[in-house]
Amino acid sequence: MDREGRPKDERQFITSEEDRINCPFYFKIGACRNGDRCNRAHNKPERSNTLLLPHLYPNLPESMAIANDEDWDDEMYARAQEHVEAFFEEVYLELASYGEIEDLVVLDNVSDHMVGNVYVKFYKEEDGCKAHNGLVNRFYGGRLIQCEFTPVSDFREARCRAFHETRCARGGLCNFMHIKHIPKAMKRRVVREMYEEHPEWHGKPEDEESRKKRKRDDARGKRMPSEERKAMIAQWNAELKSVTPALPAPAPAPQVAPPNLVIPVQAIVPPAAPATIPNMVPPASAS
């Protein structure tokens, strides 16, 4: 901490919306839609515990359709979710070999400067530097991995609050982070595997409550294919119908005669006699 109470890694990267020199989007998100053409400065840190892996995640057509708010169904969503969960687990455990990871996020944005971006934040700055050097000349999915230090220190400040809480009106073209959903059970499972492979980072013994939670997470973390899940639901419905007795048809309601209606008799008033005009002479007939 410095004299003003700021963290050490944020001394040289203080910026805001009113700052006309430094780019606020690059400071908060680590990426700017204007790139090198931006009229504000992009202060790239020389060391950081947060790394940006641009365009690392290979989006499926289903993922792009969902991110663009196009028409999609449950099968498309299940396939896209299964794909991103497998990617998250593989990349998380691979990056954990360089150091203890605090958080890892995969973006759901579709704009050119943010599509497929992956951010990983280590607890220690030296682990971030170790990962930065270790990822040089490495490939993923047949493509060379690009890695750079980023000034992003808090993913909560960089994410789109509208997307996180309800729905973003700008969709996948929003300039703030749209973070893909990863179930908490899977996050706890990969964190536990990281500590199992590196017990020197986590020396606290596992108690009974943690052991029970681990078993629940293991059961939730194993995702079932959509075909098996649909067959299982159909089997449940069949078993439910066979166990639940059929309810008897309700007896028809008895017919009740309507009460006698009393119609009031109106007094019959004779029609009034036509009025006569006095001294009226009938017209003479034409002779």
Distance between CA 128 and CA 150 in Å, rounded?
A: 10
pLDDT for residue 235 = 61
Q: pLDDT 10s digit of each residue in the chain, 287 long?
A: 444 444 444 444 444 556 678 888 888 888 888 888 888 888 889 999 999 999 999 999 999 999 888 888 899 999 999 999 999 999 999 999 999 999 999 999 999 999 999 999 999 999 999 999 999 999 998 899 999 999 998 998 899 988 888 888 888 899 899 999 999 999 999 999 999 999 988 655 455 555 555 555 555 545 445 466 456 555 644 554 554 444 445 555 555 555 554 545 454 555 555 555 555 555 555 54
Domains (range + CATH), the chain: 12-235 (3.30.70.330)
β-partners of residue 140 are: 143
pLDDT for residue 167 = 84
Distance between CA 53 and CA 33 in Å, rounded?
A: 16
pLDDT for residue 2 = 42
pLDDT for residue 21 = 84
